Structure 1
Amino acid sequence: MDPEALWPTAERPRRGRPPAHSRAEITAEAVALADAEGLTAVTMRAVAARIGAGTMSLYSYVPNKETLLELMIDQVSGDHRMPREPSGDWRADLRQLAREQRALMRRHPWLPTALPARQTLGPNALTVLEYALAVLAPAGLDARARLETFTLLTGFVASHVSYELAQEQATVAAGRTSRDLLEAQARHLRSVATGDSYPHLAEALTAASQDSGDQEAFDRLLDRMIDGLTAAV
């Protein structure tokens, strides 16, 4: 995929009759389809049907599914809620950005799976990246370390959200509530940790029982990630 061909010419004017659709419209329909049915449901045929067009006509706007995926990722990247400028408290700003990434990925559950396949950065993704690098500027990291730090942090958020979503899907498949399954898991682990065989597990379970929810667990792990990635400062 050639980014120089993809992004600057996203809406190049064409001769003749005005186009019936736009890349933005097609991308929005693809995002809506992925949100509702998952990334595997996004095919050129399915997207064409949603906009009332023939499958072959869709290729005049988007040459292939890989390009459509790039457009989808960049479109939802524009939904990041960020202030215009960092506050100067880089830890707080980075923490808030990671929490916003988590919220975005939960709104678009296909995004964690799509990100590793991304081949280029569109304008919305570049805006997020520029903001993240500005956030990390006061941290004392060099430019390459700032880029690597944000890349690794994004990977952590995507992995964490993937785990959360997988656990939620498992509860649906089991026909039980998440609370029911968590309580069953807790009873099982407490039963095997009552003896002397798993003293470290027993200690960990006691600490885990004090969590107030998923957000608290995410924030705790996030702080550890930030501490580890910026330990050289």
Structure 2
Amino acid sequence: MSSDGKSGAESVDPEQLWLPPAEPRRGRRPSFSRQAITAAAVAVADAEGLDAVTMRRVAAEVGAGVMSLYSYAPDKETLLELMVDHVSGELTLPDPLSGDWRADLKTVARLQRAHMLRHPWLPAALSTRRVPGPNTLAFLERVLAVLRPTGLDGAAKLEVFAQITAFVAGHVAHEIAQADVTRSPERAAAEARYLAAVAADGRHPELAEALSAPGRPLTPDATFTRFLNRLVDGLDTD
């Protein structure tokens, strides 16, 4: 929580962070750039997770004193805003688009998934409200163009973008967590026996029917594609 009682991204002033100053900065040329500091923070997060990103650690990475960093990012929340927008510059949609908005929206989601898997800290960083910076806004502009053929109004388009992003973030967070879990063959067999016993007890007929259905590919790519198709193909534009 910040000193003014606000927590998280609410303490970040978007005008101060993203809009250029009315007058050019005077005085001695800065020793570091905001870009370099942000890139260093991203590298730490990619390698070790968000908890490893502290002002002291980032200062050490760029060879700066901790106090000197505060003129570029006054707190970790501001640094996170910079980090999210920094990596958003990697998101590039094909140009021109296919014109099939559902196909193009699925391309958006696949790009976001690959992006979040490259930066596993992103789902957690996006779980709090973020103020979109220039790179994020550039990507959003392209996604809104994807949705133009739907005829949805502006507010609905923004909701679809938020819905897709939230789906991808949640899915990737689960995907990463599952990849981190090491299950022995014995544990997997025990779980299978347990579910078989539950399905046979007569008290869970719906579950028994679901478990008796033919299996489907469980690779991360196949699972993501099935979930994504259900979401996008089911979107109502009326």
- Report the TM-score when normalising by structure 2: 0.85
The CA deviation at 1:153 is 1.3
The one-letter code sitting in structure 2 at the alignment partner of 1:87 is S
Whole-Å separation in 2 of the counterparts to 1:208 and 1:75:
44
Alignment partners' CA distance in 1, 2:100 and 2:232 = 13
Q: Does residue 101 of structure 2 align to residue 67 of structure 1?
A: no
Structure 2: 5+ residue runs without aligned partners? 1-11
- In the alignment, structure 1 segments of 5+ residues that lack a partner are none
Q: How far apart are the structure 1 equivalents of 2:143 and 2:187?
A: 37
Does structure 2 retain, via aligned residues, the 8 Å contact 1:78–1:124? yes
CA distance in structure 2 between the aligned counterparts of 1:140 and 1:182, rounded to whole angstroms: 48
| Aligned mates of 2:214, 2:92 — CA distance in 1 | 31
In structure 2, which of residues 191, 210, 216 is the aligned counterpart of residue 185 of structure 1? 191
Specify whether residues 75 and 131 from structure 1 end up closer, same or farther in structure 2 by C-alpha distance, changes over 3 A only. Answer: same
Aligned to 1:130: 141
> Counterparts of 2:114 and 2:35 in 1: how far apart (Å)?
23
Q: Is the partner of 1:132 in helix, strand or coil?
A: helix
1:199 alignment counterpart: 205
When the two structures are aligned, how many residues end up with a matched partner?
226
Where does residue 231 of structure 1 map in the other structure?
A: 236
Query: In 1, distance between residues paired with 2:60 and 2:192?
Result: 47
Within the candidate set 30, 37, 54, 1:43 is matched to 54
Deviations 1:30-83 (A, max 9, x none): 011111111111111110011111100111222221111100000111111311
Contact 2:80/2:125, CA 8 A, preserved across alignment: yes
Return the alpha-carbon distance in structure 1 between the equivalents of residues 164 and 151 of structure 2: 17
Distance 2:24 2:58 in 1: 22
Match of residue 171, structure 2, among 139, 143, 160: 160
Pairwise CA RMSD: 2.3
In 1, are the aligned partners of 2:85 and 2:136 still within 8 Å (CA)? Answer: yes
Matched, 1:219 2:230: no
Q: Indicate conservation of the 8 Å contact 2:88/2:139, yes or no.
A: yes
Shift of 1:16: 4.1
| Residue in 2 that maps onto 1:98 | 109
Q: How many Å apart are 1:182 and its aligned residue?
A: 5.0
Q: Distance in 2 between matches of 1:67 and 1:208?
A: 49
What is the CA–CA distance in structure 2 between the aligned matches of 1:125 and 1:103, rounded to whole Å? 16
Paired residue for 2:68? 57
CA distance in 2 between partners of 1:126 and 1:224 (Å): 27
Q: Give the Cα separation in 1 of the matches to 2:186 and 2:105.
A: 34
Query: Partner of 1:114 in structure 2?
Result: 125
In structure 2, give the amino acid aligned to 1:74: D
Change (3 A) 1:181 1:104: farther
The alpha-carbon deviation at position 212 of structure 1 amounts to 4.4
Which structure is higher in helix share? Answer: 1
Give the CA deviation at 1:127. 1.1
Structure 1 residues 86 and 75, CA gap change in structure 2 (3 angstroms) = same
- CA–CA separation in structure 2 for the residues paired with 1:164 and 1:219: 13
Would the aligned equivalents of 1:70 and 1:118 in 2 still touch at CA under 8 Å?
Answer: no
Q: 1:215 to 1:182 in 2, by over 3 A?
A: farther
More divergent stretch after superposition (38-47 vs 80-89) = 80-89
Q: TM-score, normalised by structure 1?
A: 0.87
